[in-house]
Structure 1
Amino acid sequence: MPEAARQAAFKCIMDLLGAALAGVNEKAVVATRRMAVSMMGQGSVPVWFSDAKTTPAGAAWANSAAASILDIDDGNRLARGHPGAAIIPTAFAIGQETGASLERIIAAIVIGYEVGVTIAAARLVYGNTGTWSSYAVVATAAALRGTGADVVEHALAIAGESAPNQLFASAASQVPPPEGSDVKEGIPWSVVTGLMALGLAEGGHTGPRNILDSVNHYRFAEDLNFGGELHICRTYLKLYACCRHVHAPLDALLATMGAHGIKGADIDAIEVDAYAGALRISNKVDPENLTDIQYSIPYCLGLVALAGREMLLPLTVEALGRDDVRKLAAKVTLRQCEEFNASFPAQTLAKVAIIANGQRFVSGVTAPKGEASDPLTWQETRAKFKDVSRWVATEVTSDALLDAIEKMRDGSMDELTSQLSGLDLTSVNDAGRAAGSKGVLR
C-alpha cells in the first residue's frame, strides 16, 4: 500500500471505532446484536465492546450497525455515501477468521474503498449506501481470503443484484416522505448481503457477471484511477452526528454566530442557501425520532444555536421534543442555489444568513469541516473519538483504546484485538451517563 493510503486507513479505523463505541447501546444496535448471535450462531469473532462472540458474518453485521447508527461515520464525496461502516467491520471480522496480518487487513480495507467508491460513482441513479456497499464488502473479504478472480466476478454480481434496494428511502421525493427509521441507509444489511454473496459464489452459485456493463445503470469513468489518488485518501470525516448535507449550514451558522457574538435566543430567522441534494432530505421541523433529526437542517440549526454543537456529538434523546428548538427551526428558510448545485457532489457548499436584533448577518460560502481537501489531523480525530464516546466510555477506557490504536499504527494489532474482545460496555445506560466522563468538546 502507498504510505498515504495506509495512514488514511489507520485514521478511518480510529474514526469508525469511535462511532461504533458511541452507538453500541442504541436500541437498534442491541436488537441487531441479539439477532446476529441468535441467527448467525456462536463463534469466535468478537462483537465490539460487548461480551458477545459470533460468526464472522454476525460480528461484521452487529459492528456495522453500531458504527452507522448515529450517522457519525466517514463518507466519500464521489460515492455520495459511507463506505467505512461496511468495509472496516468486514475487514476486522474476516481478518480474524483468516488469521490475516495487520498489513493484509489494511490492504483489504484500501481495496474495499477503491472498489466500492468506484462502483458507487459509476451509478446513473442515486442510491443510499446499502445499494452499493455490498460490492465493497465482497472486495474486502475476497482480498483477505485470497479468492480467485472467477469467483469474485460472480460474488460481485450476486451482491449487486441482492443488495438492499432502498427504493423508498433513496428516491428524491416521496409522497408520503419516508419516516425516520433505523433502517436508514441499509449499511449493516449490505454487509450480510456481501458476505453471503461471496460465500455463495465460493460454493458455485452464479450471478449476472455483466451487471456492471449495463449502460442503463452504470457509466464508468475512462480513468478508474480518478487522477491517481486512492479513494480512501479522499474520504471525509464528520464532526456532527447528522447527514453530511447538514454540516455546511451548521459550520456557517456557528462561524457567523461566533464572529458577531450572536446568541441563539437573539435569532429571529435563519436563511440557508444550499444545493438541491440538501433540500431533498426530510428537513422536518418537528422530528419524531433521532433519525428525523439527523436528516433535518432546520432542527439541527435550531438545536446547535440554542444548546451548542455538543448536542450533535453525539446525538441523544435529550435533543428530541424541545419546544424552543422547534420554534427556531420553524423560522429557518431553505433555498436552492444554482452555483452550489453546479459544484455538487464534488463539494457540499452552503451559505447562511442570520436575522437577529434587527440586523442581517451573512456567512461566507462554507464547506463542511473534515473534507478530504482539508482533512482532520490525527490529533483532531483522536479528540473526536473521545468526544463522541464520552457517554459510553470513561476517560481511562477511551485512552486505553486510543493507545491500542496508536500501537496498531506502529505495527502491532494485538492490544487492539484484546481491547475489542475484552471490553463490555453494554451495561452503560442513560443513568450512567451523568456519572461518566463528559469530556471537553474541542
Structure 2
Amino acid sequence: MNHTPHVTELAHLATRTATLAANGSPALIRARECVLDLIALAIGGTQTEVGRIAIRSKATSQFPARLGTPGCSIFGGIGHFTPGDAAGLNGLLAHALQCDDGMRRAHGHPGIAVIPAVFAAAEATNADGPTLLRAIVGGYEVFARLGAAINPEHLSQGFHPSGTVGAVAAAAGASLVFDAENTRWLENAMALAASASGGLMEHSLYGDMSSYFVGGNAARVGIEAAILAREGMTGPLSVLEGKYGMAAAMAGGTLRTSDLLGLDPGGPKILQTYTKLYPSCRHTHAAIEAALSLRAQILDPDEIESIRIGIYKLAIDECDRPSVHTLAGAESSLQLTVAAALIHGDISLRNRSYGRYQDKRVQLLSKRIDVVHEPAFDALLPGLRPADVRLTTVGQQTFQVRVDLPRGEPERPLTWDELADKAWSAASSVLGAQQFSELEGAVASLESALSLRHLAEAITTNTDLGDTEND
C-alpha cells in the first residue's frame, strides 16, 4: 500500500480530537449531556419487553467473582458482567425506548454503540471521568466522519449504520480509554471492528426488535475489538478503502474522503449530535412537532377531515407505514405518530405505550392522513429534515405548519434542565427521585471525577436481572 491507510488517518484524527477536549469545552459539556441521556434511557429500557428479553438472556452470564475483578455494570440493574456482555446489553437497553441520540449527516445513533463500550472500558481499567468523556468525544468523531463518508449510499443498500459504523466508533472510544496515545491499538481495534461489523435495515419494513440488538451488538463488537487489539491482534488497515473494505462491500464504492478526513471549522463532531424529545424514529419528529403546533390552533381533533404530510423521500422509505402491528412499528409510522400527537396532544416517554396508538380515535385519524413526497425537500438534506403538515377541517378550514428541523438538533438545542427532565421521565420507572438526583449529579461532575464509583453506584438498583414479574 503506497498511501497511509484511511483507518490510520482516522485514528489520528480521533486521538487529536479527544486529547484536545479541555474541561469546560463545548465538546466535554456535550459528552456529559449524551451520557445522562443514554444512561437514563437504558435504565428505562430495563422495563420494556425487549429489555426484559435481553436481561433474561444474560441472567446466567454474570462475571465470575473468582477472577478478582468486579466486572462491568448494567445500567439500572444489579450484577456485573464481562465488558462485551455489559456493553452489548447496555447498548440494547439504551435503544429500547426509541429516544436515543443521533447524527443526521451520519444517518445513525452513535450513543448506543460508543457510550456503553467506553463505559465498560473505563470500569475495567478504573479510569477517571475526564478519560471517559474524552474517549466519548473521540468515538463520536469516528462515527460522524465514517457515517458521513459512506452514507446515504450505505443506508440505501440496506445496512444499519448504527450497527456497522457504530462498531468502528465503539472500538475507537474503548481504545482511547485504554491508551489515548497508542494509535496502533486504536487503528487495529477499528479495523477489527469494521471487519466484524454488521446490521441490516430490514426491521424498518416490519417494526420488529432486531434494531435494538443491532445497536447493542455494535457496542459489544467495539469493546471486544479494542481488548483484542490491546492484546496484540491486528486487523486489515485497508478496511475502509480496500478491494473488499466497507466502502466497496457496503456502500457501492462510496467513500468521501473530505467527510472522512477533512478539517471541520465547526469543531468536534460530537457537537453535531441531536437529542430526541419523542420516542419515535427521528424522521417523524418534524411532522410530530408540526402536528402539535397545529393542535393548538384547532378546537377539536374530531373536526379534522384530512391531513397531508409533505416530506422527503428518505422519511417516506422508512416511515410511510399506514398499518402496523407493534409498538416499534407505530413509533416508525408517520401516520400513527402524527395522529397520536393530534389526538393526545403528547408524544412522550412518560406516556409511551402501544395502547395510545391502538386508541380508536388515533386509528381512525391515521386513515385520513396522506404522506406525500416533496422532491424539493430531498435537496435540503442533510442540512434540513423538513416536514410540511396541512390540516383540513370538516368546515374546510385549512391550517398549515412547516418544521425544517425539530427541537434537539444542534441548531435548536435543549437546555440541561430539559435534558434532565427527559432523563427523569425515562428513568423514573426504576429510580426514585433521590437516586436520580445522585445520577444527575454524578454525570454533571464527571469532568472532575477521579473515578466512576459515584456514577456506578447511582446506576445500580435492586432490579433483579431476569425478573419477569412485570412481563
Give TM-score scaled by structure 2 length.
0.83
Distance 1:372 1:167, change over 3 A: closer
* Aligned positions of 1:255-294 closer than 5 A: 255-258=293-296, 260-294=297-331
Q: Which runs of 5+ in 1 are unaligned?
A: 170-176, 432-442
Secondary structure (helix, strand or coil) at the match of 2:325 reads coil
* Aligned positions of 1:155-174 closer than 5 A: 155-166=189-200, 168-169=202-203
Question: CA–CA distance in 2 between the matches of 1:420 and 1:405?
Answer: 11
Please name the residue that 2:224 is paired with.
196
Question: CA–CA distance in 2 between the matches of 1:138 and 1:407?
Answer: 25
| Residues 138, 155 of structure 1: 8 Å contact kept | yes
Please name the residue that 2:346 is paired with.
309
Shift of 1:414: 3.8
Please name the residue that 2:177 is paired with.
144
- Among 115, 118, 122, the residue aligned to 2:145: 118
Do structure 1's residue 231 and structure 2's residue 260 form an aligned pair? Answer: no
Please name the residue that 1:424 is paired with.
463
Question: CA–CA distance in 2 between the matches of 1:285 and 1:373?
Answer: 31
* Aligned positions of 1:359-398 closer than 5 A: 359-398=397-436
RMSD: 2.4
Please name the residue that 1:44 is paired with.
71
Q: Which has the higher contact order (CA 8 A, sep 6+)?
A: 2
Question: CA–CA distance in 2 between the matches of 1:194 and 1:40?
Answer: 20
Note the alpha carbon deviations across 1:70-93, whole angstroms, 9 max, x for none. Answer: 110111122111101111111211
| Residues 157, 209 of structure 1: 8 Å contact kept | yes
Shift of 1:116: 1.4
Shift of 1:416: 2.0
Distance 1:151 1:395, change over 3 A: closer
Shift of 1:320: 4.5
| Residues 84, 221 of structure 2: 8 Å contact kept | no
Note the alpha carbon deviations across 1:32-72, whole angstroms, 9 max, x for none. Answer: 23334545744522211111211121111111111111110
Please name the residue that 1:61 is paired with.
88
Do structure 1's residue 180 and structure 2's residue 207 form an aligned pair? Answer: yes
Please name the residue that 2:240 is paired with.
212
Shift of 1:231: 1.0
Question: CA–CA distance in 1 between the matches of 2:254 and 2:61?
Answer: 34
Q: Which runs of 5+ in 2 are unaligned?
A: 1-20, 65-69, 248-252
One-letter code of the match for 1:330?
K
Shift of 1:428: 9.9
Question: CA–CA distance in 2 between the matches of 1:429 and 1:305?
Answer: 34
One-letter code of the match for 1:125?
H
Question: CA–CA distance in 1 between the matches of 2:71 and 2:230?
Answer: 22
Note the alpha carbon deviations across 1:343-399, whole angstroms, 9 max, x for none. Answer: 112221111001124211111344211110121011111111122334333434433
Shift of 1:402: 2.3
Please name the residue that 1:440 is paired with.
none
Do structure 1's residue 33 and structure 2's residue 33 form an aligned pair? Answer: no
One-letter code of the match for 1:23?
G
Please name the residue that 2:258 is paired with.
221
Count of residues in correspondence between the two structures? 423
Note the alpha carbon deviations across 1:291-342, whole angstroms, 9 max, x for none. Answer: 1012101001111211231455562232343332121111111111122211
One-letter code of the match for 1:59?
A
Shift of 1:423: 5.1
Moved more, 129-138 or 118-127: 118-127
Distance 1:192 1:51, change over 3 A: same
Distance 1:15 1:327, change over 3 A: same
Q: Percent identity?
A: 25
Secondary structure (helix, strand or coil) at the match of 1:6 reads helix
| Residues 272, 352 of structure 1: 8 Å contact kept | yes
Please name the residue that 2:29 is paired with.
7
Secondary structure (helix, strand or coil) at the match of 1:369 reads coil
Shift of 1:407: 3.6
Shift of 1:287: 1.7
| Residues 37, 54 of structure 1: 8 Å contact kept | no
Distance 1:423 1:379, change over 3 A: farther
Please name the residue that 1:245 is paired with.
283
Distance 1:125 1:420, change over 3 A: same
Question: CA–CA distance in 1 between the matches of 2:299 and 2:208?
Answer: 34
Distance 1:178 1:350, change over 3 A: closer
Question: CA–CA distance in 2 between the matches of 1:10 and 1:356?
Answer: 45
